[in-house]
């Protein structure tokens, strides 16, 4: 009996199964966010104090999300996100795909050579203590002036914006978000490898201490809250 070459068999697979062969990103960002009015530290500075950390730097940002038309080659099942962030005299325009499986390939609609490109797994700690894994693919343009999105995206800024202050202590980031609707959200995150060891470390050194301090994790993302102008 003649056997088919493996590559030929792969081409015959449904696209949903073929996508599963995409490699997992090696990088990850582990995060937990919460509304300070529901318990736990209400400010980023209090989070650092609770964790016994001292900020090495801090920056203030204004974040604007856009309504837009996703690119024609946007991967099925992925959410497209477009935002502009301002800090001092620096502007950053970021496009992001976020979904529940890794992508074998993707293209940045902002530029063939963006100033920054990232592929990582966003791992969020939920209210139940379980985790949510989202695959994130993003690219960013940087400038000293506001950056217009590509005309093909037909982008228009949403009617609201958010303000955020970020503190850094080594790989640890603590952000204090002031969102539409007079909502204040605090997030603690740490970059690392997409491994069980790094997840366990984030849980034991960060999550455990903050939950003990009264934090009730939120299941909603910054993008959901920051782009909701109602």
Give tens-digit pLDDT for 180-216.
888 899 999 999 999 999 999 999 999 999 999 999 9
Residue 188 to residue 172: CA distance in whole angstroms: 7
Ramachandran region of residue 72, left (φ > 0), alpha (ψ -120 to 50) or beta? alpha
pLDDT value at residue 15: 44
The CA distances from residue 187 to 154, 164, 184, in Å, are 31, 10, 10
- State the average pLDDT for the chain: 90
Interatomic CA distance for residues 36 and 98, integer angstroms: 26
Question: Bigger pLDDT: 62 or 36?
Answer: 62
Mean pLDDT confidence for 166-177 = 96
What's the pLDDT score for residue 8? 39
Give the global pTM.
0.87
Domain 22-226 indexed as CATH 3.40.228.10? no
Whether the pLDDT of residue 170 is over 80: the answer is yes
**33, burial (CB in 10 Å: exposed 0-12, middle 13-18, buried 19+):** buried
Q: What is the pLDDT of residue 2?
A: 47
Position 79 scores a pLDDT of: 96
Overall average pLDDT of the 59-80 stretch:
96
At which residue do the structure tokens 């301090």 appear?
A: 213
Quick one: average pLDDT of 109-134?
95
Q: Does the pLDDT value for residue 13 go beyond 80?
A: no
Band (224; pLDDT cuts 50, 70, 90): confident
Of 131, 136, 144, residue with least CA distance to 92: 144
Percent of the residues in the chain that have a pLDDT greater than 90, as a whole number: 81
Collapsed DSSP state (helix, strand, coil) of residue 1: coil
Q: Using CA atoms in the order 134, 137, 84, 77, what is the torsion angle rounded to 10 degrees? A: -60
pLDDT at 76: 94
62, 64, 43: which is closest to 176 by C-alpha?
43
Higher pLDDT, 25 or 7: 25
Query: What are the angstrom distances between the C-alpha of 157 and each of 41, 64, 178?
Result: 32, 7, 18
* Average pLDDT for 34-44: 93
Confidence of residue 17 (pLDDT cuts 50, 70, 90): very low
DSSP per-residue letters across 129-147: S-EEEEEEEEEEEEESS--
Q: How far apart are CA 15 and CA 24, in angstroms?
A: 17
Mean pLDDT of all residues in 214-224: 87
Both structure tokens of 218: 């939120």
- pLDDT of res. 72: 95
218 vs 32: CA distance, rounded Å:
8
pLDDT tens track for 75-103: 999 999 999 999 999 999 999 999 999 99
Predicted confidence at residue 221, as pLDDT, reads: 79
């Amino acid at each position: 009996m003649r056997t088919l070459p493996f590559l030929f068999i792969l081409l015959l697979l449904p696209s949903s199964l073929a996508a599963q062969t995409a490699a997992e990103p090696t990088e990850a960002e582990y995060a937990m966010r919460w509304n300070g009015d529901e318990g736990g530290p209400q400010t980023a500075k209090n989070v650092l104090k609770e964790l016994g950390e001292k900020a090495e730097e801090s920056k203030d940002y204004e974040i604007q999300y856009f309504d837009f038309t996703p690119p024609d080659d946007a991967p099925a099942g992925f959410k497209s996100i477009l935002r502009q962030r301002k800090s001092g005299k620096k502007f950053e325009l970021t496009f992001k795909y976020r979904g529940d499986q890794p992508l074998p390939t993707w293209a940045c609609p902002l530029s063939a050579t963006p100033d920054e490109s990232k592929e990582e797994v966003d791992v969020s700690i939920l209210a139940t203590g379980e985790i949510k894994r989202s695959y994130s693919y993003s690219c960013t343009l940087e400038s000293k002036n506001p950056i217009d999105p590509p005309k093909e995206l037909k982008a228009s800024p949403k009617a609201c914006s958010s303000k955020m202050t970020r503190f850094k202590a080594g790989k640890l980031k603590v952000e204090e978000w002031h969102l539409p609707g007079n909502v204040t959200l605090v997030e603690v995150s740490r970059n690392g490898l997409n491994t069980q060891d790094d997840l366990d470390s984030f849980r034991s050194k960060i999550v455990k201490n903050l939950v003990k301090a009264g934090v009730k994790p939120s299941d909603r993302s910054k993008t959901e809250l920051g782009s909701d102008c109602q």
